[in-house]
Amino acid sequence: MASDVKVWSLAVRLASYGIVGLVSSTSYSLTLFFLMEKTSLHNATKASLLAFCLATPISFFGQKVLTFRDRPFSNRQPLRFALLAMSSLILGVGGMYLVTDVLHWFYGFGILIVWFLIPAANFALNTFWVFRRGAASA
């Protein structure tokens, strides 16, 4: 019985994590589209960075309110989340570089890193570091 509750709790947390990720990714994509198509900023790299800066707080708020609502707030959570987000950005770009420029593989393998490996690692790090249980407010 207790293990069923833990499995169900994990499934709900994963679903919430995915929903927040979808909302965050959509806000990123729409912002990027708007900046590229409706403004004079026709630089995809700059637009991507601006969109990333907008999507990150949306993601933090969603993860805190939905996915990790049972965890007490700590003043360290926003900084940890931002560090994790920046690491993910660097890993995504670095992973794409590794796949395409070093290994000379199809860029689709780089997309797989961004879609699967990074979110899986981020879920674990959000669970056990950013929003960890018992984190006292600092």
How confident is the model at residue 40, as a pLDDT?
92
Q: Report the first-to-last Cα separation within the chain, whole angstroms.
A: 36
Residue among 38, 63, 39 nearest 122 (CA): 63
**Cα 24 from chain centre:** 8
Mean local confidence (pLDDT), 69-79: 95
Residue 34's identity, in one-letter code, is F
Which residues fall within 8 angstroms of residue 32, CB to CB, at 6 or more apart? 44, 47, 48, 51
Percent of the chain with pLDDT over 70: 96
Token representation of residue 49: 């960075």
CA distances from 58 to 5, 17, 65, 95, 119 (A): 29, 13, 11, 24, 16
- CB-based burial label for 62 (10 Å; 0-12, 13-18, 19+): buried
What is d(CA 22, CA 14) in angstroms, rounded to the nearest whole number?
12
Comparing 42 with 97, which gets the higher pLDDT? 97
Q: State pTM to two decimals.
A: 0.83
- Residue 41, pLDDT > 90, answer no
pLDDT digits (tens, 9 = 90+) for 59-68: 999 999 999 9
CB-based contact 20:62 (threshold 8 Å): yes
